[in-house]
Structures are given as C-alpha cells and as structure tokens.
Amino acid sequence: MIARILKWLMLLQVLAVLGFAYLAMHAWGVASPAMALLLAGAMLLAVRTLIVARNFWQSRRLGSPVPEQYQLGAGGAARLFFGELRATLRSSSWDMLRPRLHAADNVAGQGLPVLLVHGYVCNRGYWTQLSRQLARAGIAHDGVDLEPIGADIEDFVPQVEQAIEALCARTGSDRVIIVAHSMGGLVARAWLRRYGAARVARILTIGTPHHGTALANLAAGTNARQMSRIDDAPSGWLAQLAASETPALRALITSMYSHHDNIVAPQASAQLPGARNLAFGGIGHVALASDARVLRQLLAEITIKNEVTEPPSAPHFA
C-alpha cells in the first residue's frame, strides 16, 4: 500500500515539476526548457528541504538536552541536516517505491535469521541498505509490511507473528532476531507482550519513541495517537505496555538512538530502562538505518553469540 501511495505522490511531483516548468517558460520568460525544468526541480527540492528543516526545528524545540560529548559544531550540524535530507529523499523516492530485500542463505556461524520491522508510514524498502549488509554477511532475513497504515499497533502484532513463523520455517531456526525502526520497536514490544520470548533471541530497536514523541501529536492514525505524548507524558497505551514488561523481557532489548533525532522528541524517549541503551550523535531519524556507524553496530549485535541460553518466562496472550 505504501509503495502505491508513494508512486502516486511521485507522479504528482513529476506533474508539478512539469507544470511549474511550463509556467516558467510561458509566464516568466525562461527561454530554455532545460533551465525551466531545473528551476522547477529546485523548487520541489526546496519544499522537501523545508519539511526536513521544520522537523528538526520542532524536535529541537521540544527535545531533550544534548550531552556535551554529542554537541555539534557548524560542520557537524550541516552533515546532520543534509544526511537526513539525503536519506529521506532516497527512502521515499526510491527504496520504498520498489520494496525488495537482498537474498541471503543462512550461513552457519553468522547468526540467527533476522526479521526487519519498519516504522510509521514505511515499508520493507526502508531496510534496503541494511538488507544488503546482511546478505553480504550471509544472514537470512526478511521484512514485514505493516498495514493498514494508520491501524492500531496491536493490529500489527499478528503480522509480525506470521512473519516470524514463515522465517523460522524457511531457515529451520527456532528463534529470530528482530530489528525494528521507530514505531516498529513498539510493535516488537507489543508482540513480545502477547506471544512471549520463546522465539526471539534479542530485539534491536533504532530510533524508537519508547516513551512517545511530541511530533506524533500532529500525525494521523490510531498508531500515531498511541505514540504521542500528552502533557509531556507517554500515552496511556505506552504506559500500559511498559507496566506489562518484566525485567527479563526488557533485558532482551537493545535500544539504539540518536541525540539528534528529528522525529523522536524528546530524544531521551528512546532510552528504555532495563534495556541496553546505545547512544549516537549527528544522525537523523530516517538516516539511522543507513548510517555507517549504526550499520556496523547492528551487524555486531546481530552476529554476537546469544548469551541467553533459555528464553525468560513471560505470559502468553494468544
């Protein structure tokens, strides 16, 4: 569904560029068609840039303090902004239009199979670059496309369960590793609450608003309301999810996040008590799954030997 929506949006953007170029030639006297198209494309890029800039402004206005060791100078701030803009353009204008993952056979000693769970208004195409790294490492993996877009997070849980069953059946493994971005981390935690930990070795979340994000207050859908913050506190759904988790379940989770996340605000919302928390700096929200530092850490986390020999007990809510 997301791919279809994005293709329609891309078509509208192409038509807008052509229309603006026509206007530039016939109303503003731009003689060269190439120059008119270049001007129209620049206008479209400016709009996309302003959207990213607005998210950074809001997330900083509503954000948590940046620790001193993660403070950025002018050069670092520029790299942060343009890295996020580049990741946003690539993800929405290319990777998610053709949501395919790279194939890999499960190689002994290279780790358990990996299930990739995307975030809000995305699809498996978001994981293109991580999928390429996993394929090169010989790690079997698959993704899930969470639909419908604005559904209750609880409605995504059976979709994750089905994907885990299929991945285990395909690889012959009895457990998987879940890697989840943004809202996907909350979906993974909701799955863990309902189905227990018997078939998961670890859950790696990146940029997940574990305590909600103020920017979700402006988004549409039941899942956006569940990710929201009300009076600077997590939503009721998030509070119930947190209250249901035992220390043993939290110990399965590693939360990777950026102090400069432009969607999760406050950025400290990605810190999950009882979990292993790994902080980064100078990386935007969409760029988290394509940044070289994060990719290296993800591969290290995926390929380490599992230290939990027996999964912790947890209630099973079928």
Interval 221-279: pLDDT, tens = 999 999 999 889 999 999 999 999 999 999 999 999 999 999 999 999 999 999 999 99
Question: Between the CA of residue 16 and those of 43, 263, 294, what are the distances in Å?
Answer: 10, 27, 36
Token pair listed for 31: 């003689």
In this prediction, residue 3 has a pLDDT band, given cuts at 50, 70 and 90, of low
pTM, rounded to two decimals: 0.89
* Local confidence band at 110 (pLDDT 50, 70, 90 cut-offs): low
Name the residue among 147, 121, 143 with its Cα closest to residue 132.
143
Identify the helix (H) or strand (E) that includes residue 310: none
Confidence of residue 37 (pLDDT cuts 50, 70, 90): confident
pLDDT tens profile 73-108: 999 999 999 999 999 999 988 888 887 898 765 454
CA distances from 21 to 9, 36, 48 (A): 18, 5, 18
Nearest to 256 by CA among 218, 201, 302: 302
* pLDDT single digits (tens) 276-286: 999 999 999 99
- CB contact set of 229 (below 8 Å; sequence gap of 6+): 211, 212, 213, 214, 216, 217, 235, 269
Mean pLDDT calculated for residue range 18-28: 80
Q: Residues 134, 171: contact at Cβ < 8 Å?
A: no
> 93 with 10: CB under 8 angstroms?
yes
Q: Give the residue from 258, 154, 270 showing the smallest Cα distance to 211.
A: 270
The structure tokens listed for 273 are 């008590």
